Structure 1
Amino acid sequence: MNENLFRPQFDTLKLSDKLWLMQTLATRYHLTFKELYAFSRWGQSCTTGLFEKGGREFVFVPGDTVILGWESFVQGMDKANQEELADIFAEIEYEGSAEEFLRQSMTPVRQVTIGPMFVGRKLEEIGWESVPMNDPRITARPDWLENLQKLDSKDGRSVEINQTVRFKRNGDSWQAWLCHPMTYPEFRRYLLWDLTATLPTPDEWAYLCGGGCRTLFPWGDGLDRKMKLHHFEGPEDQSKPYDMEQPNFFGLSIAYDPYQQELVDGKTLTTCGGDGGCNICGGLGPLLGFLPCSPHCKPEVREDNEIHNDYDFFRPVIRVQTSGWRMVIDRAQE
């Protein structure tokens, strides 16, 4: 195993050595190296490489041995979070402690070693094909175009027929996407053969999201109400970016919208980072609404293997082999 590919050693490399390592990795894995960039957020930081491949932006994430899972508070929740939970407990007649309640949704505490990898920086949709408005598959459906004409008169911005077609206004014209439903096994084969990538495991996803943090969320033991959050923003927040959507300490936009579930590797369709908005739709408030975005939350395992194109998303990863590199990389430090 080459220690330079793991966080404790990687973080201590000179910038010149790190640059050489990133360029060497880019050549080996057929990526285009763009630059070194320093990411810092929520008490963690990483200066790493940005890459491009097939129109996608990747970041190199060094491996590490970390503790994952959650069983108790490190800092404790603030008054606002305590009061929100107390109101919910009163409504559902729950008499246990907050830790006991939250622990039911969390994975057990364990130590794992995560290998180094290139990681897609942003979530991507599954099964939506962008097509021109004169595509024969669009023009063959005059009922779709008639609906768009009605929306034009009402200043409509978008319309979607569930898992069939989507139209969005772009200035004075419209853009169209056709939906191609996929099963989970079909999509995994597509990733491997078309993108030479795969999905992160649940443990890898938890590391990418939390970096081994011991608190409930990467920033602490509760929801930070100063943040602008998807689905809970006020009118005064319209010009601000969503805080959780901004790059984290690895440079990833991850776990920022409970409606958007990330596919992870599993025997059947498995997701992390959201619940399709179930807690929010159930009126459970911001804290429990965003609890599925915690790096420690249990993955959701579905038996049907049918991907939902509006709620299921993916993030490609390319794992880096750690054997056979020692002699080459050590030369960078001579």
Structure 2
Amino acid sequence: MSHADLTVDEWLTLSDAGALGVAAAIAHDVGAALLSVNTHAYAGRSGRVALFERDGIRYALVPGGTVELGFDPARFVPTSRQRQDFAEAVAEYSVPEPIHHFLAGQLSPARRVALPARLVAVRSVDADSLLTAEHDGTDDHESVMARLEWRGLRPPTPDEWEYDCGAGATTLFRWGDEYPEGEPYGDVPLIQNPNFFGLVIGDDPYRAEFTTDPAVLCGGDGGGALCGGYGGFLSWITLATAYRDPVLVEAIYPYLVGETPVRPVLPVP
């Protein structure tokens, strides 16, 4: 079996020795160093994380399979605080009601997709950090793809990014449907701690990340809601796993490409 066919259920049911063997074989295949294979817990879920390193970038194994992505707003039951935060946004910013209608316009739809196993960078990097001596000064999505391809890498697809973030959680956020007190920025363990797959992802609404689709950035809104003071609900929703901002690309291209993050993916053969 190709390691790209490894599913999350298969990975989690391996013995410790079996998981170490699979991780070692993947490391050999991709020319990476295997750093560790350890148990890991996040938001009440316990699993196993394998960490690798190649060319100064640390990666975690993200198993694949047929997975559920997106979010069905009809199943969302807001808390009283969320209803209050949303009502304030409606009153001040003419946000469309009801709350489920608003969410439908902000989140990708519920769906099932098949994804390969792969190694995913634990942290995103700014596109400028991928520059080479051959860089011709072009700053667009194609140039970012080329910089990664030169290293045998690529960005995640939008579907992959969602799964990398939510790790199979079907809730609004990767930790549940509620958000904590305060703003989605700074010292907030829920967004800064490594998720179920060991990734630090969706941890800063200012740092939305490139995907393979030039029109889709994931993991934030560029900080628009937070910086604009739009309140708790609108600020936190930008870190929902399935959040999509269709107008963010207009602010990124062509002037902010270099400082926009991308999360390298190292394909597994």
TM category, shorter: 0.7 to 0.9
| 8 Å contact kept, 2:183–2:232 | no
The answer as to 2:173 corresponding to 1:207 is no
Rg bigger for which structure?
1
- Contact map agreement 1:263 1:271 (CA 8 A) in 2: yes
**Which residue of the partner structure matches residue 191 of structure 1?**
148
Q: Is the 8 A contact 1:258 1:276 kept in 2?
A: yes
> Structure 2 regions of 5+ residues with no counterpart?
132-136
Query: How big is the shift at 1:212?
Result: 2.6
Tell me which of 291, 299, 312 is aligned to 2:237: 291
- Mapped to 1, the partners of 2:54 and 2:229 lie a distance apart of 41
TM-score normalised by structure 1 residue count: 0.71
Offset of residue 286 of structure 1:
2.7
**What is the CA–CA distance in structure 1 between the aligned matches of 2:70 and 2:100, rounded to whole Å?**
13
Counterpart in the other structure of 1:155? none
Between stretches 18-27 and 216-225, larger displacement belongs to: 216-225
User: Which among 312, 319, 328 is matched to residue 260 of structure 2?
Assistant: 312
Distance in 2 (alpha carbons) for counterparts of 1:100 and 1:241: 28
State the match for 1:221 in structure 2.
Answer: 177
Cα 1:66–1:260 shift into 2, 3 Å:
same
Question: What amino acid maps onto 1:208 in structure 2?
Answer: D
Q: Tell me if the contact between 2:127 and 2:259 (Cα under 8 Å) persists in the aligned partners.
A: no
**What fraction of aligned residue pairs are identical, expressed as a percent?**
28
4+ residue segments displaced more than 4 Å: 1-4
Three-state SS of the structure 2 residue aligned to 1:22 is: helix
Matched with 2:134 is none
Structure 2 residue identity aligned to 1:292: T
- Deviation digits for residues 73-92 of structure 1, max 9, x if unmatched? 64622222221111112224
CA contact (8 A) 2:29 2:268 kept: no
Aligned residues: 261
Structure 2 CA distance for aligned equivalents of residues 253 and 109 of structure 1: 24
1:16/1:299 CA distance change after superposition, 3 Å: farther
User: 1:178-230 CA deviation, whole Å, 9 max, x = no partner?
Assistant: xx77221111111111x2110000000000111232221112223122x7741
State the alpha-carbon separation in 2 of the partners of residues 184 and 269 from structure 1.
Answer: 9
| Alpha carbons of structure 1 residues 307 and 112: separation in structure 2 relative to 1, 3 Å | farther
Equivalent position amino acid for 2:230 in 1 = L
Shift of residue 126 of structure 1? Answer: 2.1
Q: Distance in 1 between matches of 2:224 and 2:234?
A: 10
Alignment gaps of 5+ in structure 1: 131-179, 234-239, 322-334
Cα distance, 1:9–1:265 mapped onto 2, change above 3 Å: same
